[in-house]
Amino acid sequence: MSPKRTAEPTTDGPGMVRTTVVLPEGLWKAAKIRALEDGDLRTVIIKALEAYLAGLRKKGGR
pLDDT digits (tens, 9 = 90+) for 11-61: 677 888 999 999 999 999 999 999 999 889 999 999 999 999 999 888 776
DSSP state for residue 14 in the 8-state scheme:
T
> Considering the domain boundaries, does residue 6 fall inside one?
no
Residue 20 is predicted with a pLDDT of: 94
> Considering the domain boundaries, does residue 53 fall inside one?
yes
Residue 8 is predicted with a pLDDT of: 54
Q: In this structure, is the dihedral angle defined by the CA atoms of residues 45, 43, 21 and 33, taken in order, positive or negative?
A: positive
> Considering the domain boundaries, does residue 40 fall inside one?
yes
What is the number of domains present in the chain? 1
Q: Is the overall model pTM greater than 0.85, yes or no?
A: no
Between the alpha carbon of residue 59 and those of residues 2, 11, 45, 48, 51, the distances in Å are: 27, 36, 21, 17, 12
Q: Write out the residue range of the structural domain in which residue 31 sits.
A: 25-58
